[in-house]
Each structure stands twice: as structure tokens, then as C-alpha cells.
Amino acid sequence: MPQFQLPLGSKMRDPQFVFGVATSSYQIEGATKEGGRCDSIWDTFCRQPGKVDNGDNGDIACDHYHLWEQDIEMIHSLGVDAYRLSIAWPRILPEEDAVNVQGLAFYERIIDKCHALGMKVYVTLYHWDLPQYLEDRGGWLNRETAYKFAHYAEVVSRYFGNKIDVYTTLNEPFVSAFLGYRWGMHAPGVVGESEGLLASHHLLLAHGLAMPVLRENAPDSLHGIVYNATPFYPESEKDEGAAMYKDAANYHWFMDPVLKGSYPELVLEREYAHKPMVLEGDLEIISAPVDYIGINYYSRGVVRFDENGDIESVPQSESEHTDIGWEIYPQGLTDLLVRIKSRYPNLPPIYITENGAAGNDECIEGKVDDEQRQRYLQQHLLALDKAIESGVNVHGYFAWSLMDNFEWAFGYVQRFGIVHVDYQTQKRTLKQSAIAYRNMLLARSEENKNG
């Protein structure tokens, strides 16, 4: 039977180290017209021709809205310590000031079931599904949306309080701001340099405004934010400046305001014409202390200066890539975490909140042999162990994703799950990677039980 191996003496063998799986609301729930939910920007975006592969949408997705109970049982069967999910803002506030008790009750059932089975619950408040009525007023280009988010955080945290073990304000603000409002590849599809940077500031302001609200309503829970971070490497020594800038523009731009109270000068200088309006006091709000940060890691980037002095990506054609076209580079996870530790002296604990690979997975006679994903996950667990050995304070690891789901602009073409989903029948099948993950966690549990 397949099983991932953790090095002897690894801190990840400790029962305090959290292993989990992760999902997000729009990607799995479906039932977009049920339970009092209103449209999100992704419902609208999916209706626009050519925006999503095959014209796919999240109307049904994995039908988790109806199948949640069996899904939570399945998660528990994997032996994980925690489940990371997101709450759909459109289910909680389908109208601006009208709290939808059906939406709260749906998530309460999930949370209660997880706790009854002994699993902790990590909840993301915003995983990109902004209510469409807020987008109609400018979305994240409108400063008011940051205050609407704080109100939404108040509604959720007042209802659940400490029942949610760990709150995340935002998942990957880079993606929300830049893919959604700068490059137009994600909902709502806005294109503009100034727009992308302005949206990023308002997202971070939303995070900062929500933090004291969450602390007041859930004083015993942990509160933080999750970033996607891609470490960049220079093609040659003369390209080191290109890699430094890409690190700054990719993740320092979002981490520095929270952890240092300022935006990186490298980006402000280069993007001077597009820099966002930052009001007095904004950075103090944004830099409120956090209990942890989440890091989502998938791959690296290699860059160089072209003949005009612009920065361009350098494809690594000799390397192995996943089905989505991302290079497999486990060392990047070690390097990234060490870089982050070096940059932020007062760094709070880190969770790896997403790590995984897209595969061209087929279920053949009830078995899914996702050999590449098994290697990917094993190699990244070892890379994480190296970072921990180097002194990085990591408290947990979440595999992305629990199951195949709606992969945003890629629709259902890309499969990131460790569980296979047949979208015609909604049958779930554990892939070999899920079995290897489960066997590793069961072995760890036995080891800790026996001392």
C-alpha cells in the first residue's frame, strides 16, 4: 500500500503538527440558486463566453452542498487533524444588510460534524466569491468594499465565535487583485495596472479592518491571512535584479504591509504611475498583529532581463511539469520559507495551507494511479521538513485539494484532487495519493499512541 514517508525525528511526526486537506466554497458547493444564496462575481464571469474553459461553471461543481455529510466522513477517513474550507459570502449576506440564517446553518452543520469527528476547522472568509451586488458598485476598486468585508466578518464571527478554530481573512489576495482586476483572467475580468494595485490595497485594508472584529468575537481562535507565494530565480547572475523585483511584486507587495507596515520600495518606484491611494492610517490598520500566515506553494519562476530591460519568464523545458504546465520544483518550497523567515524578523507561525499538483487522472476499474502527484507530495513534504530543520516555524500542512473541483478559469479540465470526482455521477474515489496520505497519517497516529 502506498505511504508517504516523514524523516525520522521530523517535527512533522509530532502530534501537535497539523495535517489537513483544503477546499473552497465556489469550487465544490454547487447549489448556486439554493439556500438563499445570491450571485457572486464568479457566477457572472462564468456566463461570459470564452472566460472559462468549455464554458464550465460552478452551478453544480461537486454538489457538496447536498453531499457535505458524506464528504466530511470521507475527510475523517483520511486521518487528518483539520479541514480547511471557505464560507461563501453570497450565502451569508445575499442582500447587503439581510443575514441569511440558512447559510449560517449550512456551515454550522459542517463545523459541528468536523468537531464531532475530532477534526479542527480552518475557515477562510474570502476565497474570491464576492457578492455581485458589491461588484456592481465597483467591487474591490471601491474602498467601501473593505468596510463591507469587515461587516461580513462581524456577522460570521459573532455567530460562530470560538467554534471556528482558525479564521483566515483572505485567501491569496494576489489572485483576487491581479488576476481579477489587473490582468482580467479571473472574475470580474477587469484589466488595468492601476486597477490591480488599487484592488490589492483595498483587499489588504479589508483584512486589517476585520482583524480586531475577529479578535473580539473569537478571542480563543487563531486569526491570520493566506498568501500564494512563488519564489523567483535569476537565469544568470546579471538577472538577479529581475528575480528580486519579481519576488517583491509577487508576494512582498502583499506580505510587507501586514508584517512590516509598508509597501516594498522596489515596486512603488517601478509602478509609480499606478500606485494606489493609501490614506493616512491605512497601513497601521493593515499591519495589525496576526497569529499566523498561510503559504500556498505550487511552483517557482525563472526570469531574466530582455534586450529592452523588461523582465521575462524563462521556460524550464528540461524540467518535469504537472498537467497544468507548472514546473515541479520542491526545493522552491524550502527556499521560499527560508527567504520569508529572513525577510520578516517578527514572523508568526506558518501553515502550508495549499500544496498540490494537477494531473490528467482517470479512474480505471475503481483505481486512480496518480503516480506523479504521489511523487510531488512526497518530495514537497521532504522539502518542508528541510525548511523546518533550517529553523522555519511551520505548524501545519494542508494538501490541495481534497477532491477534483471547479478550477476557476480552467473549469473542470484540471484535476487537483487527491480524491477523484466523476462529475456525471458525483462518485468520489480515493486516488493513490489520498491512500498514501492516509497511510502516513495513520502510521504517525500509531507511532504517537505507542510513544
Residues contributing to the annotated binding site for substrate: 27, 127, 171, 298, 400, 407-408
Cα Rg for the chain, rounded, in angstroms? Answer: 21
Identity of residue 6: L
Given the residues 135, 172, 195, 327, select the one marked as catalytic.
172
Task: Indicate if 154 belongs to the active site.
Answer: no
Question: For the purposes of burial, counting CB atoms within 10 Å of the CB of 153, is it exposed (0-12), middle (13-18) or buried (19 or more)?
Answer: buried
Which H, E and C letters describe the chain, residue by residue?
A: CCCCCCCCCCHHHCCCCEEEEECCHHHHCCCCCCCCCCCEHHHHHHCCCCCCHHHCCCCCCCCHHHHHHHHHHHHHHCCCCEEEEECCHHHHCCECCECCHHHHHHHHHHHHHHHHCCCEEEEEEECCCCEHHHHCCCHHHCCHHHHHHHHHHHHHHHHHHHHCCEEEEEECHHHHHHHHHCECCCCCCCECHHHHHHHHHHHHHHHHHHHHHHHHHCCCCEEEEEEECCCEEECCHHHHHHHHHHHHHHHHHHHHHHHCCCCCHHHHHHCHHHCCCCCCCHHHHHCCCCCEEEEECCCCEEEEECCCCCEEECCCCCCCECCCCCECCCHHHHHHHHHHHHHCCCCCCEEEEECCCCECCCCECCECCCHHHHHHHHHHHHHHHHHHHCCCCEEEEEEECCECCCCHHHCCCCECCCEEEECCCCEEEECHHHHHHHHHHHHHHHHHHCC
Query: What is the distance between the alpha carbons of residues 402 and 88, in angstroms, rounded to a whole number?
Result: 18
| Cis amide prior to 188 (ω within 30 degrees) | yes
Query: Catalytic residue among 29, 195, 327, 354, which?
Result: 354
Q: What are 390's three cell numbers?
A: 533550517
Could you tell me which residues are annotated as the binding site? 27, 127, 171, 298, 400, 407-408
Instruction: Report angle CA 92, 124, 401 to the nearest 5 degrees.
Output: 115
Residue 327 catalytic? no
**Contact assessment for residue 170 and residue 118, using Cβ atoms and an 8 Å cutoff:** no
CB crowding 295-325: b at 16 or more within 10 Å, else e: bbbbbbbbbbbeeeeebeeeebeeeebbbbe
Which positions are annotated as active-site residues? 172, 354
